[in-house]
Chains A and B, each alone.
Chain A
Amino acid sequence: MKPMIFTLKKKPRWRLDLSSLTPDRLSAVQHITDLELDYGSRPTRLGELFSISGENPEHIELRRTTELVTRIGANMTRGHISVKAHGGSYLGHGMKGGTIKVNGNCGDWLGCEMYWGRIDVEGDAGDYIGAGKHTGMYGMRDGLITVWGNAGNRIGDRMRRGMIMIGGDAGDFSGSGMVAGTILILGKSGRLPGYGMKRGTIILGRRPDRIGTTLANCGTLKMEYLRLFFKQLSRMGSRYRFFRNFGPEVRLYTGDLANDGKGEVMVLLNRG
């Protein structure tokens, strides 16, 4: 069966909520064109906004989306969504399974409060990746978010478990208030990573612009488990093979001492 392809007929003028376009929801409805989407302040029929082809609701493809779309794949539990253009904001919000692949950039709140699943973004992403919304206590509970481009501020804010990998640079306050989980930033990172973190691990490819005073410098050492970690990562696909060259030597900071102080921020010293 061919993937179900939704192409936006024209640029949306207002915020367009696409949380209905998930494998779970689509396989439950009879007439997909009659499905109502929140568009601006009122519901609009899907058929008026999108042209549709293909028939496999387990594999959805979205085309010509812009930064005004929001909540793609929210609360999805299975299947695959492939976004050929901009991923919008709140992509994968609260998702519980399945995979999302974005070819373009993404807005803020990528994968916020997700429980499980995998999000892969080719381009850049905005602030609060894998974070908790203002209404929640915690950020992402589990799953894997990969951004190959750059990312904004406050990656993994209050995250609880899971992993976020940023291929490019990241903004300020990465892993702020983080409870547990892993953040891996290969490029440059901004000021104060691990600000207010409780537990968890932040691995930085380069030394950050500024490190917090409440993160204790523990000197350089070999973290042997990183060997296993990088070995496992390098097996995830051909794109990840460069991790084979990474060594376990790091400069370690622990903290945030202002908040339990069981977290660790590592700056990689040996990238092969």
Chain B
Amino acid sequence: MIKLKGGKVYDPSNGIDGRVMDLYIEDGRLADPATAGRIDRVLDLAGRIIMPGGIDIHTHIGGGKVNIARMLLAEDHASNPVAPDMLMRSGSGSIAPSSFVTGYRYAEMGYTSCFEPAMMPVNARQSHLEMADTPMLDTGAYVLLGSDDFLLRLLQRNKDPQLVNDYVAWTIQATRAMGVKVVNPGGINAFKFNQRKLDLDESNRHYGLTPRAILSALLDALDAIGVPHPLHVHACNLGVPGNYRTTLNTIASAEGRPVHLTHVQFHSYGQEGDRKFSSAAAQVAEAVNLNPNLSIDVGQVMFGQTVTASADTMMQHRGHVHAHPNKWVCMDIECDAGCGVVPFRYRDKNFVNALQWCIGLEIFLLVNDPWRVFMTTDHPNGAPFTFYPHLIRLLMDRSFRNDMLGTINRDAAGASVLSSIDREYSLYEIAIITRAAPARSLGLRDLGHLGIGAIADITVYRPDDNLEAMFGKPEYVFKHGEPCVRDGKVCAIPATSTHVVEPEYDPGIEKSLKHYFDRYMTMSLENFKISRDELEGYNQHSLLVHDCRL
């Protein structure tokens, strides 16, 4: 048993806000000292800050589009090689790093679990293999539905909702997912029928379905099969000036059902001012405050070169004119959806980019309940995840934020209300938005907190006035109870696991699916399904199955 002595603990799930207390780790979990065994090792952590391991609820770390991004930005990989040592394997890249480097860099910032938000059903095996090759991190994925031909056919024929439920549950199990994401509901499909935009109440030309109907069907299905994480929604009209109305309508269309809106920053643009681009963060934040069924992640933009990788072919195709360097990929992915990869450089002197930066921060600061806003940069779309320590400093340090505000495009800074917002996140709130809240939203009962019995994923920071330095270089990171990072450097490669849910479904659905697969898909139904044994075979991963409420 390891004793972590005298650290200042921030554990929002258990209401512990900076209390000095001892923690005990036994067999990879937090233990009760009264019943646990002998103490083998004592770590004196007096004055240190202890939090649960970080959880990134939305980060593109595996799957086809990330690989395309890696290939497209070959120059980034050529200029950022990472040499192997006795412990770590080699890799490359800084924007969309190779899988091993991704794992090391995340762990070196104190993150222990990451969730890939857009796993195509047909690419599920490859995504899982890649995530199994992402060391240091527990992983999980949301399977992408909503533009897939089979679901749209079901909805078009207005079939029994039970069939939709079975199909969604079957897909989650077959692809070993943790939840369901919908990207531009029906829009990716509409793109295939030459529609170049699709608003919430516009009909898909081929199926005659509106995004609203698709959203509603999926919300009902997820509610019925009891997946803990609500529908992960990437709404219509990403990045279009004036799209905040669509966002508000999408929130309203949930009609009280639990829903998660992702990278909301890209969906909070107004159309005011001379340049027809303004911040609507206030309106969206107000809607978040008023709708307790809603949670969001921000998708903060940071300045510098990055790459946008999304399944939203429609919007990526629209944005390809801004590609920097000038190369891009948009492709169709079988009957499931599509994929678009456009490299992008956010410039601080550019009005639009600077205002995007402001909008993200405004959303963070104007949403009152930290339990419903999660910290993301939508890696790599807003910025690579390595910007997290910098982002935390922006949230926690008002004077630093205002200094940065002084360096960006002056018109954008003037158009934003950011300078008038006094709010600063506390360490407790940071622990909520990076740990406790994502864990609660995902239904991870054993993660994101430090109560007795929780999995001992723990990050220990050394307090520093420069919060960026503090969060960028944790003193210790424990993964499943084993120290794996020391002073911001990886010191051991722990075993990791994959998070999944296994909702129940009527096996009868496979009959119609079999017919569909034989007729339209590139692989057979039996090969499509990923079994538990297969997943556990990837790099000796263990499987963590979370309960569905029924």
- Give residues in A with beta carbon < 8 Å to B: 133-137
Contacts and interface: CB of A to CB of B under 8 A. Distances in A.
Given A135-B74, A135-B78, 8 more contacts: A133-B78, A134-B74, A135-B75, A135-B77, A136-B75, A137-B325, A137-B326, A137-B327
Nearest to A41: B84
Residue of B75, B77, B327 ringed by the most chain A CB atoms within 10 A: B75
A124 to B, nearest CB: 27
A137 B156 CA distance: 45
10 contacts: A133-B78, A134-B74, A135-B74, A135-B75, A135-B77, A135-B78, A136-B75, A137-B325, A137-B326, A137-B327
A22 to B, nearest CB: 19
Contacts of B326: 137
Contacts, number: 10
Nearest to A137: B325
A136 B327 CA distance: 11
A90 to B, nearest CB: 12
Contacts of A137: 325-327
B60 to A, nearest CB: 21
Nearest to B325: A137
B271 to A, nearest CB: 35
Nearest to A133: B78
Could you say which interface size class chain B belongs to? under 10
Q: What's the dominant secondary structure at chain B's contact region?
A: helix
Interface string B50-61: 000000000000
A137 B326 CA distance: 9
Residue of B77, B78, B326, B327 ringed by the most chain A CB atoms within 10 A: B78
Interface in B300-349: 325-327
Contacts of B78: 133, 135
Interface in B62-106: 74-75, 77-78
A136 B74 CA distance: 8
Contacts of A136: 75
A137 B324 CA distance: 12
A149 B74 CA distance: 32
B334 to A, nearest CB: 27
Contacts of A135: 74-75, 77-78
A136 B75 CA distance: 6
Q: Which 6 A-B pairs give the minimum distances between C-beta atoms?
A: A135-B74, A135-B78, A135-B75, A134-B74, A137-B325, A136-B75
Nearest to B75: A135
A135 B71 CA distance: 9
Contacts of B77: 135
Nearest to B90: A41
Nearest to B76: A135
Interface string B176-211: 000000000000000000000000000000000000
Contacts of A133: 78
B298 to A, nearest CB: 32
Interface in B106-153: none
Contacts of B74: 134-135
B137 to A, nearest CB: 27
Contacts of A134: 74
A266 to B, nearest CB: 30
Nearest to A134: B74
A192 B295 CA distance: 58
B503 to A, nearest CB: 44
A136 B78 CA distance: 10
B389 to A, nearest CB: 29
Contacts of B75: 135-136
Contacts of B325: 137
B345 to A, nearest CB: 15
A137 B325 CA distance: 9
A96 to B, nearest CB: 17
A134 to B, nearest CB: 6
A109 B144 CA distance: 42
A133 B79 CA distance: 13
Residue of A133, A134, A135, A136 ringed by the most chain B CB atoms within 10 A: A135
B71 to A, nearest CB: 9
Residue of B74, B77, B326 ringed by the most chain A CB atoms within 10 A: B74
A1 to B, nearest CB: 36
Nearest to B73: A135
Nearest to B327: A137
B346 to A, nearest CB: 20
A134 B78 CA distance: 10
A149 B325 CA distance: 37
A137 B77 CA distance: 14
A136 B79 CA distance: 11
A86 to B, nearest CB: 25
A136 B326 CA distance: 11
B85 to A, nearest CB: 12
Contacts of B327: 137
Nearest to A136: B75
B481 to A, nearest CB: 35
